[in-house]
Chains A and B, each alone.
Chain A
């Protein structure tokens, strides 16, 4: 299936008619956004995995039952399901769980990266690991704005509203986050990727 050509609305329509492949396209299209949305609230990858599964299963049930009436707006609908499930979980537990994993590894160990064929694989992997740890080391409010802007594709206005700060505060947090990451990259001699140098 050519998922570039098909809109969410078309994929939903095909799925409701029984086309399984169309749901797989939707899942691949939004799994990262859903996962990130949940992770930002529960801050635990294991719980985020479970709630991601719950989110899509709830979406499947609604689509199969014929109760879906979002007029083609699948993305905000599925993200709202994810958000509500994460908030419900948070309220049930009445506190944020810790980020430390059972094996002592950090939460970013479950992250995946896009491939870059021009780099040596091992160097690339090492760079990714360092980048993950740098993001994790950022102050919470700076890490949050990076996650929201980069992985949830929220605008700075949306981030400001979501975190109850002014847009200048959100922009300032992003600026400091980028500066801090840049410093860490320099300290650890992580080379910038010249293939993505701005034109």
Chain B
């Protein structure tokens, strides 16, 4: 089978940044190529694991912001 895309295109595919045509071509290639499918699954699962992580400020910072908002609202009344 002639590979019409690169490993970088697979990354685009995983992150939904391919064109519709590229998307269809890669889907077909994945169905025909077990090795490629395993690579896709492995990368995709790693990506999904990252979804468990998020950066967020502390609760005290959030409370400070909300308190400031409330106090500024009162002072503007």
Encode contact with B along A33-46: 1 for CB under 8 Å, 0 otherwise: 01110010000000
Q: A20-B69, A111-B55 are in contact. Are A53 and B61 (CB under 8 A)?
A: yes
Give the residues in chain B near A155, CB-CB below 8 Å.
17
Report the Cα distance A35→B45, complex, angstroms: 26
Encode contact with B along A103-126: 1 for CB under 8 Å, 0 otherwise: 000000011111010000000000
Interface size for A (C-beta < 8 A) is: 54
Decide: B8 and A175 in contact? CB cutoff 8 A.
Answer: yes
How extensive is the interface on chain B, given as a class? Answer: 35 or more
Decide: B73 and A132 in contact? CB cutoff 8 A.
Answer: no
Residue pairs across A and B with CB atoms within 8 Å: the count is: 127
Report the Cα distance A23→B69, complex, angstroms: 8
Interface of chain A, main secondary structure? helix
Decide: A110 and B69 in contact? CB cutoff 8 A.
Answer: no
Within 8 A of A (CB), among B30-77: 40-58, 61-62, 64-66, 68-70, 72-73, 76
Q: Is A68 an interface residue (CB 8 A)?
A: no
Interface of chain B, main secondary structure? helix
Report the Cα distance A85→B11, complex, angstroms: 32
Q: A150-B50, A185-B46 are in contact. Are A57 and B65 (CB under 8 A)?
A: yes
Q: A18-B73, A36-B55, A111-B56 are in contact. Are A196 and B48 (CB under 8 A)?
A: yes
A-B contact pairs, 19 of them (CB 8 A): A32-B56, A53-B57, A53-B65, A64-B72, A110-B58, A111-B54, A114-B51, A128-B53, A131-B52, A132-B53, A146-B50, A150-B53, A174-B11, A178-B46, A185-B46, A193-B49, A196-B49, A197-B41, A198-B41
Interface positions of B (Cβ within 8 A of A): 7-8, 10-12, 15, 17, 40-58, 61-62, 64-66, 68-70, 72-73, 76
Interface positions of A (Cβ within 8 A of B): 18, 20, 23-24, 27, 31-32, 34-36, 39, 48-49, 52-53, 56-57, 60-61, 64, 110-114, 116, 127-128, 131-132, 135, 146-147, 149-151, 155-156, 168, 171-172, 174-175, 178-179, 181-182, 185, 190, 192-193, 196-198
